[in-house]
Amino acid sequence: MITINLLPRQLRKTDKKVVVPYKTYLLLGFAGLVLLHLLLFGVATMKKIQVIALHGSINKVTVSAKEAAKTKAEIKEFEAKTNTLKSVLTRQVSFTELLSGLSDAVPKGLWIDRFSFSGNGIIIQGTVISLTQNEMTIIGKFLQNLKNNKTFSTAFPKLELGSVQRRSIKAYDVVDYVLNGEMKK
């Protein structure tokens, strides 16, 4: 079907095409890019805040880990001391007998400066002074007396001379010694 429009051109209804200038498209594109940049900046800022918060958490955990390691080391130290005492107590050897045996074994001219348990052993440190220059003989006699003592030799079957150091005090020669004993396992 054909339609004829007899109206003058000015009165006719026509579909007018709206022409949008290219500047409008450029302006809309630029505004979109600015919004996109602002959005990305916001996301980056949020991520930076999260990273800073995570670093703070890591620092707290690090401090807690250091404290835990320190506490763990203290616990191990106390356990070692407890095990040493348990091993001495389970051997059915009394401290009184050990100290009595140690006292009986000390020859004239020998002093015990330090007596300590460490790990699974004993350390005896002392000094010997003799006017007759036989300090090593006195130390040997002390060591032999300890080995001959039944209580001491039962508790510490491996007893040996660790180190000896000679020094002079005024006109006298003095020998410092260290005896190491290993507990019976």
pLDDT level of residue 93 (50, 70, 90 thresholds): low
159-180 pLDDT, tens digit per residue, is: 888 888 888 888 788 999 999 8
Max Cα–Cα distance, the chain, nearest Å:
153
Q: Please tell me which of 6-10, 37-41, 139-143, 171-175 the model is most confident about, judged by mean pLDDT.
A: 37-41
Mean pLDDT of 43-53: 94
Residue 179 and residue 160 in contact, taking contact as beta carbons nearer than 8 Å: yes
> pTM score > 0.75 for this model?
no
- The correct answer on CATH 3.30.1360.100 for the domain covering 93-182 is yes
94-116 pLDDT, tens digit per residue, is: 778 888 888 888 888 888 999 88
pLDDT level of residue 70 (50, 70, 90 thresholds): very high
Q: Please tell me which residue, 15 or 103, carries the higher pLDDT value.
A: 103
55-64 pLDDT, tens digit per residue, is: 988 988 888 8
CA distance readout (Å), 127 to 118, 141, 166, 182: 20, 14, 10, 21
- The token pair at 93 is 């050897």
Q: Any idea how long the chain is?
A: 185
Point out which residues pair with 173 in neighbouring strands. 168
Q: What is the per-residue pLDDT for 91?
A: 57
- The token pair at 61 is 């955990």
